[in-house]
Amino acid sequence: MRATLMFGAGDVRVEEVPDASIAEPTDALVRVTRACICGSDLWPYKSLPSLDDGQPMGHEFIGVVEDVGADVAHLKRGDVVVAPFVVSDGTCDFCAEGLHTSCVNGGVWGVGGLDGAQGEAVRVPQADGTLVPLPVEVDDALMPSLLTLSDVFATGHHAAVSARVKEGDTVAVVGDGAVGLCGVIAARRLGAERILILGRHEERTSLAREFGATDVVSERGKEATARVRELTGGTGAHAVLECVGTEDALFTALKIARSGGAVGRVGVPQVESLPGAQETFMRNVTVSGGVAPARAYIPELLPEILEGRVEPGRVFDSEIDLDGVPDGYRAMNEREAIKVLIRP
């Protein structure tokens, strides 16, 4: 089968790899019908040292079950399924607590021998726990939005939940990538009255406005902090969704949180330590968040998409086939595309 491999910074290739197949009785074999490129795929795209064997890429997908192992009870051939960006058994203590990203039988696509999602097919371990059947046909018009349940919509939602967004809040979203845009949708859903988006790409901030953002802050650093304070009567935002992960973005997120407020961080941190420890200590700013347990949120978010209340799939502004994947990485890296959808 064909799948995407990364051999180093800027070096993405689509190559012939061994066919995915059932290895454990708890596995399913899924033919991928939709996948995508993630903002987090751009970190290795910028910095991965050269590899002799390529790294399988992709962790977001929807597909059709082609085969199941003997112990798979809740899935059958022909089911249309969405996969969250990590594997989980659905039964361990962490899964029971809704923290599927810490599953004791977990795994990450493309790591430790698992297939990546940017290919023709994937072996899915712990299939009963990992996969969620979708009550739609394989080419349903809702596919782009349903695909965001794999990662970006669930991650934006996790940022909002971690930042304790509630009815009537003023919310600030740091970052205008796909996760930040989904964070706007999530904050709106949870009742935010005012939503400030911090970003400077006009086509992204205008989509943020369509998703419910009320104010755009295009300044950065100290100027961004000053602007948010000015827009919030000097106090800052009740809830801040940090959707970037750089030191600047983290620092800004902490500075613009209102005293007693909370920051939900979902951008993969590019630094070892959090900035602003003393200042946020004195102001009782809660810092929360982390890698999003997408599997836990799918039952809540899926009906929102099926019933048309939210359209997170609008973050996809480009669609390619497998041959187009290397150029898709380039386009996202150069910010020509917000998020690239792949139809293998």
- CB nearer Zn ion, residue 89 or residue 176: 89
Q: Cβ–Cβ contacts within 10 Å for residue 47, how many?
A: 11
Work out the burial of residue 149: count CB atoms within 10 Å of its CB; fewer than 13 is exposed, 13-18 middle, 19 or more buried: buried
Least separation, in Å, of the C-beta of 154 and Zn ion?
A: 17
How far is residue 107's CA from residue 290's CA, in Å, rounded to a whole number?
17
- CB nearer Zn ion, residue 61 or residue 94: 94
Strands 86-87 and 107-108, by their bridges, are antiparallel
- CB nearer Zn ion, residue 4 or residue 26: 26
Spatial neighbors of 260 by CB under 8 A, at least 6 apart, are 283, 284, 285
Least separation, in Å, of the C-beta of 129 and Zn ion?
A: 6
- CB nearer Zn ion, residue 89 or residue 169: 89
Least separation, in Å, of the C-beta of 104 and Zn ion?
A: 6
- CB nearer Zn ion, residue 97 or residue 300: 97
Question: Nearest-CB residue to Zn ion?
Answer: 103
Tell me how far the alpha carbon of residue 135 is from its chain's centroid: 22
Instruction: List interacting residues with Zn ion (CB under 5 A).
Output: 88-89, 92, 95, 103
Of 8, 87, 79, 17, residue with least CA distance to 44: 8
- CB nearer Zn ion, residue 20 or residue 103: 103
Least separation, in Å, of the C-beta of 102 and Zn ion?
A: 8
| DSSP track, 79-97 | -EEEE-SEE--S-SHHHHT
Least separation, in Å, of the C-beta of 25 and Zn ion?
A: 17
Least separation, in Å, of the C-beta of 298 and Zn ion?
A: 15
- CB nearer Zn ion, residue 112 or residue 234: 112
| Buried/exposed 11-43: b ≥16 CB within 10 Å, e otherwise | ebebeebeebebeeebbbbbbbbbbbbbbbbee
Are the CB atoms for 31 and 120 separated by under 8 Å? Answer: yes
Least separation, in Å, of the C-beta of 41 and Zn ion?
A: 25
Terminus-to-terminus CA distance in the chain, angstroms? 11
